[in-house]
Structures are given as C-alpha cells and as structure tokens.
Structure 1
C-alpha cells in the first residue's frame, strides 16, 4: 500500500496521507524493512507470489526506480512467479510515457488507470486533479509505452451525472479499447469527506440503476465479460490479483493500513505513516489488529466473495450455510424466482440483476 496522495478525493475512504518527499523516503525504507521481516517468518520459504499489486493512495507518485527497488526486494526475499501479474494503480496527472516505460522495465505488466469521470465540470467536484484530456493522454501514453494490459476505473451515481452523460463517458472509454474496466457506484463511506458532510445533486436511485444497465449493455457490445459485480474484462484479461480476494485465497500485505489473510488469520497494519515507520525502525512488524476467523465466518466470507463473481460458488457451500434454516432456504427460492440467482450444475451464481442488488442479498444470506 502506497498511501501518499497529492490531494485526497472527496469520496475516498482509503488510508491516505499528504504527499511529502521526506515522508516518502522514510516510508520506502520502512517498506523494505517490512518485506525483509516478512521473509523471515517460518512459512515464507513456501510462499509463491502469483501477483503483486501496488495500491493506494497514489502509487504512480513512485518513480520507476522506486518501483524497481520494491520489486527487487520482493524477488530477493520471496519466490515471485515468472508469470506474476504486477499491477500499479495510476492517476492521469502523475504519469507519462517515460514513467510507464520505466515501470515496464521494472517488471510491471499491468496498469490500472483511475479516471473516474470524463466530465471536466464534475472532476473538480470529486477532488480529482486531472482533466478528461489528461485521462485520454495517460491511456495513450501507457499504450505508447507498450503496456499490453491496461484497466480503467470509472464511477457512476455521481452528483450531477445524468444518464446521457454517463452513457457518453462509457462509450468514450470503451472506444479507447482498454483491456479491463472497473465501474463503481458512488458510496458515501464514513471515512470519506462526503460521508461526513454529504453531497448535493446525487441522482435518484432509478437513474443510478439505469446507469448500471447502460454500462452492462455497452460493455457486452464491446466484447467485455461482466465477471464480477464491478468488473468487466476482455477475454483473458480478468484481474488475477482481485480474483485472489474473491476466491478467499491467501495474500500477504505490506504498507500502512494494508491487510493480509493467511490460514484463518486476518491482520492489518497500523494506518498512520509515522507509526508504521517507527514500528519497523524498531525492528518489529507494524501489525495493529488481528482476527482469527471461525469456520462459520470463513464460509460466510467465501460465499459473499464468490457470489460477487459470475463464476459463483459450489452449491454445496450454500447448502452448508443454509442447513437447518428453512427461512433462508425460502429466501433463496424467492431470489431464484425473481431471476436474481441461478443454479448451473453444481454451482450457483447471481445474475446481472442479482449483481445490482447483491449487497442487500448478502445481508439476507448472513
């Protein structure tokens, strides 16, 4: 996790910190120390890293040589698969063709470009620092640098965004021919500025639903597979990293506020950058909280994460969860009759209509 941002977006609830050159240098030293300490744990020699994901914050504030140094440390201390997917999240205003070329030379083979909107009147309202022209230029720079796997992030349900504006933005992005598209409906999370203050001009729920379906149709027309609630991919370009989460597989984490999952243990690092650095400078891992999941909790999480995907989950998992609970079994029948869920052989999955109301369904399931 790279926490630094030139400016915090008003909808963002992630762990971030203001960009500061001195703090960045200290953080990079602490991160190297964390990788070293993780590699000394008894199980580290048995670990193969199938993916590496630089998330944030704004990871594209890192210079290419800084990304190279982090990847070199990982390769020195861990076994990184030869075909590992290595992603860097990027903001349009902090990249260039030269930076993308440097990232590629360092071993990055996937770019996730956060554009969020192509409306130059809306972008400043979101707290974004780029323009629509900057977004297109960043995408073209990635392609010019030889990046063969580029994902684009956009948002719907934004204040002042009507159906026509959204449909136009989706069409423009799809015309760029990205390999992957992530589209998130705006949520006013408690940790965000808008979650505290609120925001005027949000579209009615009916418009948000129309925006979702407009995206589903447009993505399908352009040959994209809707493989997860918020994610669309051309054939062969699913996010391998995110599928690790959705399959409830194990993952390591490093950086302030980063969370890991191993066995039945989930733990998270300290969020404040100074505390994170101080702990590592004392020679200790910066773990701030940990939770050991019960078998029932693990099953519940596997179900929810798996049902977020078009692949769904083994029907046996659902049967185990619903055993002895006729009320929930009846609710499942209701979902199926409503076209929200379908059984296919030994698996069960939500439909695209089910994706739209998945959060409400998951509350009922648990």
Structure 2
C-alpha cells in the first residue's frame, strides 16, 4: 500500500503527540468485523460447538451479574437495580445454566486458566450467593490449578462477610472500582463512600493477604483537577495494592453524567488534551515507583498480579460465558447471552442456552487478534502477522509505521514496533487503523452468514472498563 492509500490513518505531527496526535479516540469493539449468523442457523451451530469444538489453548470463563445498588453517573453498562429477591432468583438461574452446560462434552475438554465475575456489581450479591456461584464453577468446570479467579467489587455493600466468603470459595484476585479517592469527586459520580472509607476498605482487603488486590482509577472526571489526580495516584501507591488500572473518562452519550454536564449541572469533563496529560502523569508516577506496566492501562506492583483474564481475552482466547448480558467466544464464533432477564429466565428454565445472537469471523481474525494483543502490551512484531496467500502485514503498512514513528507514536527496530507513551494512549486509534487496512483485503463473505442481520445486543465479555 502506498502512503496515499494510508494517509487517512496518519497522525498529526506536532509538539506533543500525546495531547494532539488525533482529534478523537476511537472505540475498539470486541466483536468488530464479525458477521451476524442467521437466526435460524444459531441452534445447530451452538449444538455443534458444544459437542465437538476443541481449543488449542486453555480457556477463560466470564460470569455476568447484571445488578447494581445504584447507577454511577459515568457508567454506560447499568441495566437492573439490585433487590434481594431479584438477585436470589437470578443466582438460581445462573447456577442452573452453568450446571446444565457443564454436562456437554466441550466445557470439560480443556482447562480454564481464568474466571472473571463482572458486572454490574457482583459484590452486590450476598455472601451465600457469591459462595454458591464460585463453588458451582469449581465443581462443574475444569479449572487449572493456578486458575486466576477475579471478583469485581465496589465499596458500598461489600462487607467483611462477603469478602471472606469469596476468598474461602476460591477468589484469588479482587478488583475494586475506586475511580477517585476525592470525596467530592466520588459523590458527584454517585459513589457514597468518602475518601477515608475508601482508603480503609482497600487496605482491609490488602491486609488479609489472601488475594491480589487491584484498584481502578479514572482520570478526566468533572472537578478532578491535576492536583486531585496527583493525590489519587499518591494514595493508591501508599495503599500498595498488587495492581492498578488507570482509565481515561469516556463520556458515553446518554449516561447521567453526559446529561448532567450538558444541562450545566456539573463542571465540564476534562478535554482530550488534558486527559492525555493526565495519562502521562500516571505513567511517569508509577514508573518512578518501580511498578511494571503490563498493558496500556494496567500496572503491577507485585508478581501476584498477573492480569491473566484481561490479557488473554485480548488475544482472542476461547471464553465460556454465563449470565444475562454475558458474551463468549469459541473459535471463530462469538455469542451473547440474553440481556433481558425475562428472556434469560425463560430459556434457562426450559433447559436451553439463553442465546441472543452469534457472530462468526473470517480468516483474518487471527491477524486481528495478534494485532490487538500486541498493541495492548505495547509491542508488535509485524513480520509475524500472517495474511492470506503468504503475504505479511509489514510490507503493506511500512509507510504508515514510518509516519507514526515521525509523529512520536512508535519506535521501530526491524519489523518490531514498540509503542511510546503517546502510542499507548492512542492505541485504540492504531488498532482501528489496522482494522480498516485488513478490511480492504477481506477475502469475502463468511459462508452461512445472513448479510442483512444487523442486531447483536449489548454484551460483556471482559472486565468492564470505565473508559
């Protein structure tokens, strides 16, 4: 491809690529470029996958809990308000779904290296309910001896009884959505706990010394100045968890936060340039503390934090999905579990997998997976990205890589491309560019796919990211 062909993906060359290489950050959707399977083909395809699919590598499991005690203003994933009755009924269905599927040949034919309980807010469930789900998974599925089992939680309602029950049932990684320690910033986003309560809560889990503790921090929130962001980073380092995630605010249209800002009720969120500068501040701060950056948004302080699920899902690993709104992958096929609770209930009680749709990829999916996984960790060997007919990606994108190098986004050593801090901040734009380039050499339609199918519902397949 010539420089003219690749020009739409060029970055702006300026004084600070982290602040202004692009005018917007592109979204990276997990099911991009997969085509919807015709509705009448779904049951037979699912039955075939459950009876004969084999995985070359260990699998993942994602379990979705679609309830929250309240709607955080920045969140675009909120679906159902938590009530004890609705949660109890849901757990019954979830256990039934897992146990029923475990009787098929495929879920038991490969070890599982990571399990992720996400949401929603899994920690909204009772101690007994959390323990029941976890023990069902351990009893029904072939977990590897060193399987990473992650539980997402929030400070509100995540009491010591729930924490201890989860640890006793096998959780060895707890991810806490702190977002900010500043009380005013937290309250503005619908977080009830103040600064001191948040600090004490995370410290209490850390002091149990029974699981990797990871905290999520958001930057770019309304009212979150550079000083407050610096304080958030300092507090996080002082608490000394095993890992930390830093996410830039994505102001999702239709969320309460976006509406409040639009109505003038809240201060404006940070600009994209300001968010870039805050990312740089986080990278430099954690590097000075000796933390290891293991992906674009994730750092580890200790070896106990492996981040297995989040890294492997970016590689396109097979993922078994359970729970209303969950999403999974088996080979070329991705699928979603019904997000509507009534639809989910009716299917489970009828002894059926509550599928809400399936998608299928073409022969370029391994290349897409390799690009996404490489850019996620900041290093991509272009010569190893195989294309149809024996071609390689390196020759096709050489002018683009050189332009990105001139723009300060990448470093180049032979065919290996390494992301700079600016490149890590804009990595979704780089993935989007590669996606578009690969689409131009798409070998054609995937057999058995309905060309006019256009509805695939919202799903969750990996750790929910505020950004």
Pick from 256, 272, 295 the counterpart of residue 228 of structure 1. 295
Q: CA deviation at 1:148?
A: 3.8
* 1:217-256 map, 5 Å: 217-236=284-303, 237-256=305-324
Q: Which 5+ residue runs of structure 1 have no aligned equivalent?
A: none
Q: State how far apart, in whole Å, the 2-side matches of 1:276 and 1:244 are.
A: 27
| 8 Å contact from structure 1 (residues 34, 285) kept in 2 | yes
Query: Mean Cα displacement is larger for which, 315-324 or 22-31?
Result: 315-324
Equivalence for 2:401: 332
SS of residue in 1 equivalent to 2:119: coil
Query: Is the aligned partner of 1:309 residue 2:394?
Result: no
Equivalence for 1:73: 136
Equivalence for 1:212: 279
Q: CA deviation at 1:298?
A: 4.0
Q: CA deviation at 1:323?
A: 4.9
* 1:148-227 map, 5 Å: 148-190=211-253, 192-195=255-258, 198-199=261-262, 200-227=267-294
TM-score by length of 2: 0.73
Q: State how far apart, in whole Å, the 2-side matches of 1:349 and 1:255 are.
A: 38
Pick 1 or 2: higher relative contact order, CA cutoff 8 A, min separation 6. Answer: 2
Equivalence for 2:346: 278
Equivalence for 2:58: none
Q: CA deviation at 1:180?
A: 0.4
- Do the aligned partners of residues 253 and 325 (structure 1) sit closer, same or farther apart at CA in structure 2, a change above 3 Å counting? same
Query: Which structure has the larger Rg over C-alpha atoms?
Result: 2
Q: State how far apart, in whole Å, the 1-side matches of 2:293 and 2:173 are.
A: 19
- Do the aligned partners of residues 327 and 51 (structure 1) sit closer, same or farther apart at CA in structure 2, a change above 3 Å counting? closer
User: What is the root-mean-square deviation in Å for CA atoms of aligned residues?
Assistant: 2.2
Aligned length: 365
Q: CA deviation at 1:191?
A: 5.9
* 1:281-360 map, 5 Å: 281-310=349-378, 312-318=379-385, 320=387, 323=392, 328-343=397-412, 347-360=416-429
Q: State how far apart, in whole Å, the 1-side matches of 2:91 and 2:159 are.
A: 22
Q: State how far apart, in whole Å, the 2-side matches of 1:139 and 1:107 are.
A: 19
- Do the aligned partners of residues 19 and 174 (structure 1) sit closer, same or farther apart at CA in structure 2, a change above 3 Å counting? same
Q: State how far apart, in whole Å, the 1-side matches of 2:189 and 2:331 are.
A: 39
Q: State how far apart, in whole Å, the 2-side matches of 1:41 and 1:337 are.
A: 53
| 8 Å contact from structure 1 (residues 112, 150) kept in 2 | yes
- Do the aligned partners of residues 134 and 16 (structure 1) sit closer, same or farther apart at CA in structure 2, a change above 3 Å counting? farther
Q: State how far apart, in whole Å, the 2-side matches of 1:351 and 1:251 are.
A: 31
SS of residue in 2 equivalent to 1:108: coil
- Do the aligned partners of residues 38 and 348 (structure 1) sit closer, same or farther apart at CA in structure 2, a change above 3 Å counting? farther
Q: Which 5+ residue runs of structure 2 have no aligned equivalent?
A: 1-63, 436-467
Q: CA deviation at 1:324?
A: 8.1
- Do the aligned partners of residues 349 and 34 (structure 1) sit closer, same or farther apart at CA in structure 2, a change above 3 Å counting? farther
Equivalence for 2:165: 102
| 8 Å contact from structure 2 (residues 383, 393) kept in 1 | no
Q: State how far apart, in whole Å, the 2-side matches of 1:38 and 1:76 are.
A: 13
Q: CA deviation at 1:106?
A: 1.1
TM-score by length of 1: 0.92
Pick from 127, 143, 151 the counterpart of residue 206 of structure 2. 143
